[in-house]
């Protein structure tokens, strides 16, 4: 059956006749043709839904016309269509625009006549221009789902096009990219076999139905063999990295799944350690993918942790071993924490109605959550109160701090057992991360939180006010629901960093990722070879500083004071 719900633009450029500095490529056109073949044979997309631009037709105007064709197709279908864009060719860094990267159309560098007998040089297609096109797609509705843009270039195009860096996004923009990496890296081509990246990319996609992949699980498998002179690493930049490939909304994957891989054919490693609160003897369920749907991604076995390091844990398979699954030295699976065992540090929970509490949290769940029920409220870390069919929660002892209100603002239905358990579990998890001391000291790294001037913002300029964070990294912000902020990270050290930024919401017990570095292919998707976002003596602005959609905003109910959040 033909899939008419896709429209695609593929661009492949071998020849750059007007730019002597760009060498002829051997396989870009072949790679683009191979992508076309995949789209037609594996995704069943009809040929008329794929616009293919090659060499002479892949000019700057031709590519813009192709993007306009996509926009028109989406508009004609009232947004009920998925879009895929693929580009393979040269890319360069624009030294005149603060190091922005540009895709090179086939007429890049060509001198053309304009009015008044003057000449003009055909320029590249910068990331800011692509950002404008994404806004056009958003205006016609395509960005309600996923818009993958796959770029195979000499240099990784690290675009800042997403709006996923805001707590309260106004436009649901989605952008995903897989490309070859660093400024110093060149892509490897084999004239007979094609480009290394595209071959591996398509090979991984053909292994399983694309619907079983999320962006991040694809990257976990996208290890590209390297040639000595051509090291290369795929990137993935996406604000919906847990969305299903090509068609995802962003919530098809479950963030609680952790990559689990066999190392050197000997032992299984879960990529989560003490930094994530993992403890020895904890039990994990095993799954094929990181999809949230339990029917699509059922449990097929269990693991137990035998050793915990900072960022990883060594595990053993719990008999009986699954006979339907074959394990190899290159196997990549996913695990989900079932029980985090540590009897020495249980959380004490109290309710005046102990019989009800024991029904809600029976012995098996107490073991799973590492809690114990106590008879005396003075001994409790978390107290539950039932009032008019609602359960309220009070932090005590271990879970109480001087800067948080003891009674949580939210409540849950007393009959919703799952929600009650989730609050208890989230309280333990949230408190662990809030109080955990890093095993590493980061001197010379600081963060600024600045309010953006609304009047300047309306005029298209970003003019942050003074830093509102104190030396203790805390702040009091009045009327914060009316304000927007930008975060700047400063690296005053001599070493590069891969920064991660999280927002701790004590009211909702959530920890939201506001920024994470690009995901790299290779060993389990670690970013060891991806361009470092925060280099020595530099700063990094979090959010799209060219548009207000990327700024941080905090949701506070009218008439209420917010608890302190932590960035």
* 3-state SS record for 176-199: EEEECCCCCCCCCEECCCEEHHHH
Asked if residue 373 lies in contact with residue 366, where contact means CB atoms within 8 angstroms, the answer is yes
Report the DSSP pairing between strands 100-103 and 125-126: antiparallel
Asked if residue 215 lies in contact with residue 291, where contact means CB atoms within 8 angstroms, the answer is no
pTM of the model: 0.73
Give percent of the chain above pLDDT 90.
25
CA 388 to chain centre: 41
Secondary structure element (H or E) that encloses residue 513, with its range:
strand 510-515
What is the SS3 assignment for 127?
A: helix
Rounded Cα distance between 344 and 341, Å, is 9
The yes-or-no answer to whether 6-236 and 347-435 have a common fold is: yes
Q: What residues have CB less than 8 Å from 306, skipping those under 6 apart?
A: 280, 314, 315, 316
**Phi and psi at residue 417, to the nearest 5°:** -60, -40
Topology annotation, domain 347-435: Rossmann fold (3.40.50)
- Per run of 10 residues, the mean pLDDT along the chain (length 567 residues) is 81 92 89 95 94 97 96 86 90 62 90 82 87 82 67 56 28 38 51 78 86 85 64 70 80 86 77 84 90 88 90 88 66 84 74 94 86 92 92 87 74 92 86 75 81 58 60 60 75 86 78 73 52 81 50 62 54
Please tell me the predicted confidence (pLDDT) of residue 420. Answer: 93
What is the SS3 assignment for 539?
A: strand
Rounded Cα distance between 268 and 245, Å, is 27
Q: Domain-by-domain residue ranges, the chain? A: 6-236, 258-339, 347-435, 445-553
Supply angle C-alpha 130, 133, 136, rounded to 5: 160
Rounded Cα distance between 154 and 73, Å, is 31
Residue that is written with structure tokens 């009091």 in the block: 476
Report the DSSP pairing between strands 332-339 and 258-263: antiparallel
Q: Which residues pair with 149 in a beta bridge?
A: 85, 177
Secondary structure element (H or E) that encloses residue 65, with its range:
helix 60-76
Please tell me the predicted confidence (pLDDT) of residue 243. Answer: 83
Residue that is written with structure tokens 């450029």 in the block: 13
Topology annotation, domain 258-339: Thrombin, subunit H (2.40.10)
> Of 540, 469, 537, whose CA–CA distance to 498 is shortest?
540
Please tell me the predicted confidence (pLDDT) of residue 219. Answer: 83
Rounded Cα distance between 6 and 210, Å, is 14
Q: What residues have CB less than 8 Å from 41, skipping those under 6 apart?
A: none
Please tell me the predicted confidence (pLDDT) of residue 60. Answer: 96
Asked if residue 302 lies in contact with residue 282, where contact means CB atoms within 8 angstroms, the answer is no
Please tell me the predicted confidence (pLDDT) of residue 449. Answer: 79
> How many CA atoms lie within 13 Å of 317's alpha carbon, on the beta-carbon side?
18
Q: What residues have CB less than 8 Å from 159, skipping those under 6 apart?
A: 101, 127, 130, 131, 175, 177, 237
> Of 513, 527, 524, 523, whose CA–CA distance to 567 is shortest?
513
Please tell me the predicted confidence (pLDDT) of residue 307. Answer: 92
Q: For residue 479, is it left (φ>0), alpha (ψ between -120 and 50) or beta?
A: left
CATH code of 6-236, in short, is 3.40.50.1460
Please tell me the predicted confidence (pLDDT) of residue 162. Answer: 36
User: Most distant CA pair in the chain: distance in Å?
Assistant: 91
Neighbour tally for 439: CB within 10 Å:
8
Tokens, residue 53: 């631009």
Tokens, residue 51: 């616009």
Q: Which residues pair with 94 in a beta bridge?
A: 100
How many angstroms separate the Cα of 238 from the Cα of each of 228, 292, 510? 29, 18, 21
Asked if residue 301 lies in contact with residue 321, where contact means CB atoms within 8 angstroms, the answer is yes
């Amino acid at each position: 059956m033909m899939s008419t719900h896709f429209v695609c633009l593929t661009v492949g450029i071998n020849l750059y006749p007007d730019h002597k500095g760009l060498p002829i490529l051997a396989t870009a056109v072949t790679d683009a043709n191979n992508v076309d073949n995949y789209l037609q044979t594996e995704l069943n997309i009809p040929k008329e839904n794929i616009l293919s631009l090659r060499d002479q037709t892949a000019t700057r105007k031709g590519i813009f016309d192709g993007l306009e064709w996509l926009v028109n197709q989406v508009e004609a279908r009232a947004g009920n269509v998925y879009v895929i864009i693929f580009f393979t060719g040269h890319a360069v860094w624009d030294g005149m625009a603060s190091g922005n990267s540009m895709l090179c159309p086939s007429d890049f560098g060509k001198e053309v006549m304009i009015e008044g007998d003057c000449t003009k040089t055909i320029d590249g297609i910068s990331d800011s221009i692509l950002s404008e096109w994404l806004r056009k797609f958003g205006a016609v509705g395509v960005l309600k789902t996923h818009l993958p843009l796959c770029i195979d270039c000499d240099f990784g195009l690290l675009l800042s096009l997403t709006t996923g860096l805001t707590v309260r996004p106004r436009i649901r923009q989605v952008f995903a990219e897989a490309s070859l990496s660093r400024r110093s890296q060149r892509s490897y081509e084999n004239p007979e076999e094609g480009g290394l990246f595209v071959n591996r990319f398509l090979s991984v996609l053909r292994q399983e139905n694309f619907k079983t992949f999320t962006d991040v699980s694809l990257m976990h498998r996208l290890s590209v063999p390297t040639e000595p002179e051509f090291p290369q690493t795929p990137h993935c930049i996406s604000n919906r990295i847990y969305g299903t490939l090509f068609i995802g909304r962003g919530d098809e994957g479950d963030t609680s799944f952790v990559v689990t891989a066999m190392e050197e054919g000997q032992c299984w490693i879960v990529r989560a350690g003490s930094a994530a609160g993992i403890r020895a003897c904890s039990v994990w369920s095993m799954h094929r993918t990181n999809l949230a749907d339990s029917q699509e991604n059922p449990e097929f076995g269990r693991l137990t942790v035998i050793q915990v390091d900072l960022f990883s844990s060594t595990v053993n398979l719990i008999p009986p071993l699954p006979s339907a699954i074959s394990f190899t030295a290159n196997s990549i699976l996913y695990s989900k924490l079932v029980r985090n065992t540590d009897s020495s540090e249980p959380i004490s929970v109290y309710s005046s109605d102990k019989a009800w509490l024991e029904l809600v949290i029976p012995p098996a769940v107490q073991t799973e959550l590492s809690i114990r029920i106590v008879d005396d409220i003075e001994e409790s870390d978390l107290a539950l109160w039932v009032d008019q069919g609602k359960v309220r929660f009070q932090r005590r002892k271990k879970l109480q701090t001087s800067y948080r209100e003891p009674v949580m603002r939210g409540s849950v239905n007393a009959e919703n057992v799952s929600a009650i358990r989730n609050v208890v579990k989230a309280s333990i998890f949230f408190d662990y991360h809030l109080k955990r001391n890093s095993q590493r000291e980061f001197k010379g790294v600081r963060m600024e939180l600045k309010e953006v001037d609304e009047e300047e913002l309306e005029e298209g300029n970003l003019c942050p006010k003074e830093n509102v964070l104190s030396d203790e990294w805390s702040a009091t912000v009045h009327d914060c629901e009316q304000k927007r902020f930008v975060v700047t990270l400063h690296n005053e050290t001599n070493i590069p960093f891969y920064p991660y930024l999280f927002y701790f919401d004590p009211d909702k017990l959530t920890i939201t990722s506001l920024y994470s570095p690009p995901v790299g292919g290779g060993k389990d998707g670690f970013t060891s070879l991806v361009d470092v976002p925060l280099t020595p003596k530099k700063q990094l602005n979090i959010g799209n500083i060219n548009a207000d959609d990327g700024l941080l905003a905090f949701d506070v109910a009218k008439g209420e004071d917010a608890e302190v959040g932590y960035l």
